[in-house]
Each structure stands twice: as structure tokens, then as C-alpha cells.
Amino acid sequence: MTRPATRTATRTATRTHCPYCSLQCGMTLQPRGRTLEVQPWAEFPVNEGGLCRKGWTAGGLRGHRERLTSPLLRDRATGALREASWDEALDLLAGRLRALRAEHGPDAVAVFGGGGLTNEKAYQLGKLARVALGTSQIDYNGRWCMSSAASAGNRALGVDRGLPFPLADVEGTEVLVLVGSNLVETMPPAARHLDRLRENGGRVVVIDPRRTPTADRADLVLQPVPGTDLVLALGLLHLLDAAGAVDTAYVETRTTGWAAVKAAAAGWWPERVERVSGVPAAQLRELADLLAGAEKAMVLTARGAEQHAQGTATVLAWIDVALALGLPGRPHSGWGCLTGQGNGQGGREHGQKADQLPGYRMIDDPAARAHVAGVWGVEPDSLPGPGRSAYELLEALGTEDGAKALLVFGSNIAVSAPRTGHVVPRLEALDLLVVADLVMSETAALADVVLPVTQWAEETGTMTNLEGRVVLRERAVEPPAGVRDELALIADLAARVGSPVPFSTEAAEVFAELGRASSGGRADYAGIDHDRIRREEGVFWPCPSPEHPGTPRLFTERFAHADGLARFVTVEHAGPAEPVDDAYPLHLTTGRVLAQYQSGAQTRRIAELPDDGPFVELHPMLADRIGAHHGEPVVVTTRRGELKATARVVDTIRPDTVFVPFHWVGANRLTHDALDPASRMPEFKVCACAVRT
């Protein structure tokens, strides 16, 4: 297909990708004066020209009155932010960073990235931390998105790629089980695949404490107590084994560890599962019968299953179900994870995580350190070791052994962190807080230095979508005067703090270096470049050479462990870190709504998107008990804080559970900071609460 030349901003239409979720839907941008008109890109296979309302209105920040266009510095005398030149801002910033490092050591400076940054920016941010600043203290908000699935995928299958097959493969399966996913609201263009699956005679099963719009497209809906998805998987394994539905030939030739998992599942008969999860035994048996009778089936997990202190164990249990049925690697079958953030996949593959180097190499592996150091032109011993995970990094800020300065790129911590009532004072305790953003987010409002950066339509760079498809966002328009691309900002800052090596500012050059750094790693991009992506409209990793076709489907012949076998992993149910009690008798769960995205820093500023503010969803039985009425305020309290918001009385949620969306300030004052021991994922999805009028 012929595509327009779009390497530099023109007045012609530009094919690019949506700035929001991990679908990375294709779209066409047409400049109209100071605004951008979004048009379809019908040929892009992920969305076939369809977009959700967020995608259609994505040009709304172009020319927005709240757009930042000048660096801002905190005046120490007045406490107010004032405008400054880039040279003044970066000179001050570099000087403060050098002084803090000299006084307290390199780990006095921390870096916090985002799952919405391009691969190039994520890569350069990791290089900035480890080479220019010499700090081990770097992590990113993707730790709060898909890290439990990543941990489970690596352990069981040997690799972390959200979907090991193209999303369209869903249409050809017979049974699709969605565990903790409200796909219809969180990534609406993907709903077409559910509809086509059902038109083809397939069945959809949704597991969620709420009956969401996704459940309205389902044939079977299970509504467990929050935090009990793991026992549903154990109960399924029990039933599948008892029914003789385990694919013994597959288990014997392609896996290891089944005997221990089988023994653990033997104790989870359906009635016991019902007592713990609240899901009727008859429903669990119905699901087991559906899976046992299907030749092709898929299990897809999402945040509802993963954002728990037992998130890794929960995902491992569902992978065990898929392996027992012999699904991974077979056509239109398998396990996968529905990644959330736009570059949640690529963002963790190339160096933003505390324990990883580019190519999904582990930072404590001597061979990995030697390879990446060679690409960077530094000595392996000069690279720091593993740092703290995202929440642990934030919790330590300003303490004796924590960072004294924090650089934030692409994240709104003051809204999105768990237990924000504890995190915000940690931000305020810093000697220096620096935020690079498009608008004055809640985190930027706390900063000592605010740096205005480009939005997605003003820059070129790659993203890796939920399928492992590397796509290219093309620059459609020039940024406003005074705004800098983060690649240029990172390069300038690296030079000012004395980096031993230069940093490129050109996205194509950075991506080529990323390819060399990732070569031979688990996430190998060595055979991909910007021009190839343009020609092929996306390339699936691993792609180790220009001659390699890319890998749309993993596990067809072997798994990514050295012996080629998948691992069954035995897990046990422990329940939520904070069980309900007399003082806090209800389960609180959080999530997204259709019109908003993440912390809402972008979507809440787009007039066409409804912004009704936070609300509390509760069942009529609970509303009657506490005297609450639809449309009137209620107060939700946990051991960490409280939120006053409008009640929405609905019969689609469990009577023992309330739901609050997390796009507005307040929701995460309530959430728990208990961490998964493997992934370090906070337990966003369940804690004990009380509700009153």
C-alpha cells in the first residue's frame, strides 16, 4: 500500500496511531487550522478504521488553552511557578542534580517513566538513568499495569508478550474466557472481535464482580468476590481433571510440573470454590463443560485479575488452565494478557523497569550487562544494579536512603499511585521534583521544575501494541513554539550532567540503537526499522534480522524456556491483603470508564468527552441498608482515606462490593499499597471499605 510521505510535518493527511490504549488503533490526521481532524485508516488491521470516542476526539489538545509552552520554575521566595527559558531551566536542573549526586551519591536521583512513552523515549530514559546519571533508581507506571501478567508469562512460558497471537485470532476460537476485562469500555474497537466470534458460533465468558457492557456481550457471566479469581481457576482445574478433559499428550510432550498442580487443584471442588468466591458451583461446572467440549479456546486476563497482591499467582493459575487444555501454541487458542497502556508492552522491554535492560535483558545478568554496555560505549561495571520497584521507589522519596530528586516523564503520580495520601507527601519531601508534561497535571503542580513537551501528533516514534506489533506514530504537525520533544530534552540534560557518551535526538537513529541493544534478547527488535514498519504497517517481535518475517504467533513449536517446555506452576489462594471486617465490611474495587483514560490529564481536558467526575457504584440492597439514593452523595472510607462522590445505584454489581473509577483525584487515596511479591504490583483492585451517606 502506498502511504503519504510523513517524516516531517506537512499539511497533507498523516497515517499514525491513537495516543491512548494498547490497541494503538490506526488513524489519519488532517490539520485544520490550529486543530487536528481525526479520520479513519480503514486498512490498518487492528481496528479497520473504527475508533472509540477518545480516539475520534484525540486531536482536542492541539491548541488547547491549558497546553504548557514554556518551562516553569518554582520561585523559592513566593512558592509560585514562573516562566523561564530552556537554558535557565536546564542549567538550574543540571546544577541541582550534580550537587545532589556529589553530596549523596548517584542513587539520590530517581527517574519515573510512563507506559505511554514511545519505545525510543523509554529506551533513552533508561540510558539517561544508568549512563548519564548513574542511578539504579528508575521504574515506571507500567509496573502498575501489566507487571503481574509479565511475571507470570516469563515464569510459565519463558517470555512476556501480552498476546502471543494477533487479536483477530479471537474470532476463530470456540470459547473465549475474559478474566477481569471490561474490553467493550476500555478498548471499544476490539469489541468487533467478540461480535464476530459469536457470529461464528463461539461463546464468550466474562469473569468480573461487575456486570459490565462486556458482560452484555457474553453467554456466561461469573461475578466473583474481588480477589478470588485464583480459586475459580483452581476449581476449573479440579473439574477438568475429573472429567478427563486434560490433554495428556500435550502435557507430557510440551510441559513440565503438571503432577504438583493436579494435586493442589484436587482440594478445590466446586462447592468449596463457591464458599470462597461466591460463584455458584453450577456456573463453574457450566464453564468447565464449555472448555472441555471445545477444540479451540482462549483465556485472556486483564487488570481485574492482575492488580492484586496475588496477581502473579492468579495469572499463573489461569495459564495452568490453558496448559492443561493444551491451548498455547495451537491455532485460535491459548492464554494472553490484554495490555492496558498505549506502550505498556514496549515500555517495559527497553529499560524503564528497575531490573531490566533493553531487549528484556535482566540487569543482574553479566552477559546482558556486557552486551548493552558495548552498544552504549561504556564499561559493564559502570552500570548500576537493580533498583526499587515503582511504589517502593516513591515510598522511599526524601527519606535517609531514598532519592532526593525525582524526574517524572509521562506519568501523573499524584492521581495514579496507590495510597496517594501517603505518596503525595513523599513527593513534597523531595529536594527537587521535575515533571515533563503537556499540561499542568496534578503532579506537575507540585513540581519545582516543569518542562513542556510534545504530544503524540507532534513527534515520530514507535509503540508496541498488545499483540507485540511494533507500529510507528508519525509526526503530523509541528509542536508549539517553546515545546521540546523528550528525545531532545533527554539528550540536552545528559550532556549537561556530564554523560560519558552522546545521546541522539533523532527517533530513527535511537530506534536503530535500540535494535542493536535488544539483539539476542527476549524482546529482539534487531530486524525492525522505521521504514520497514511503514512498508508492512507493523512488525511483530521477535524479529532478529531484516530478513526475518517477524513472529505474529508464539509457541507454535516450542516455548521460550531453554528446554522448550512450558512450566505448570503450583499456586495457593491467600485472599486479599486486607480482608473485610466489622469496621470495613465491603469490598472496594476500582477501574476505568468509557470516556476517560488513565489519570485523565488529557481526556478530562477534551470538551467532547463527558466528565461527570468520580462516582460510587453500589447495589440497591446496599443502598437501602445505608439510606443512599441514586444521584446523591455518599462517602467511601478505607483505612487510608475517604472519598465523597455521587452514588450510582445499579443492580450490575455484587451487593458486597462498591466500584469507584480511578480517573479523578481521590480514588487512589483509598487503595491499598500491598505488593505482589514477584511483580511488585500494588493491590489496586480490592481493599476493605465502608460506605455511608
* φ/ψ (deg, to 5) at 316: -60, -40
Question: How many percent of the chain have pLDDT more than 90?
Answer: 94
Q: Return all residues near 523 (Cβ < 8 A) that are at least 6 apart.
A: 161, 349, 350, 359, 360, 541, 542
- At residue 11, the pLDDT reads 63
Residue 227 has pLDDT above 80, yes or no: yes
**Residue 6: which pLDDT band, with cuts at 50, 70 and 90?**
very low
Query: What average pLDDT score do residues 642-662 get?
Result: 97
**pLDDT tens-digit profile of 554-563?**
999 999 999 9
Judge contact between 329 and 131, C-beta under 8 A.
no
Judge contact between 185 and 629, C-beta under 8 A.
no
**pLDDT tens-digit profile of 328-377?**
999 999 999 998 898 999 998 999 999 999 999 999 999 999 999 999 99
Give CA–CA dist 689/447, Å, rounded: 32
Q: Return all residues near 227 (Cβ < 8 A) that are at least 6 apart.
A: 308, 310, 575, 576, 587, 685, 686
- At residue 1, the pLDDT reads 33
Q: 290-301: b or e for each residue (b if 16 or more CB lie within 10 Å)?
A: bbbebebbbbbb
Q: How far is CA 347 from CA 119, 122, 240, 341, 465, in A?
A: 6, 6, 37, 9, 10
- At residue 340, the pLDDT reads 85
Residue 150 has pLDDT above 90, yes or no: yes
Residue 445 has pLDDT above 70, yes or no: yes
Q: 254-280: b or e for each residue (b if 16 or more CB lie within 10 Å)?
A: bbebbeebbebbeebbbeebbebbbbe
- At residue 4, the pLDDT reads 36
Which secondary structure element, helix H or strand E, spans residue 138, and what is its range?
strand 138-140
Give CA–CA dist 601/603, Å, rounded: 6
- At residue 464, the pLDDT reads 97
Q: How far is CA 411 from CA 144, 343, 599, 688, in A?
A: 11, 13, 9, 27
**Residue 192: which pLDDT band, with cuts at 50, 70 and 90?**
very high
- Using the structure block, give the residue that is written with the C-alpha cell 525510543: 120
Residue-range domains of the chain with CATH:
72-144+345-507 (3.40.50.740), 153-338 (3.40.228.10), 586-692 (2.40.40.20)
Dmax over CA atoms of the chain, in Å, equals 75
Which secondary structure element, helix H or strand E, spans residue 646, and what is its range?
strand 641-649
Question: How many percent of the chain have pLDDT more than 70?
Answer: 98
Q: 603-619: b or e for each residue (b if 16 or more CB lie within 10 Å)?
A: bbbbeebeeeebbbbbb
Cβ neighbour number for residue 289 with a 10 Å cutoff? 14
**pLDDT tens-digit profile of 245-288?**
999 999 999 999 999 999 999 999 999 999 999 999 999 999 99
**pLDDT tens-digit profile of 518-532?**
999 999 999 999 999
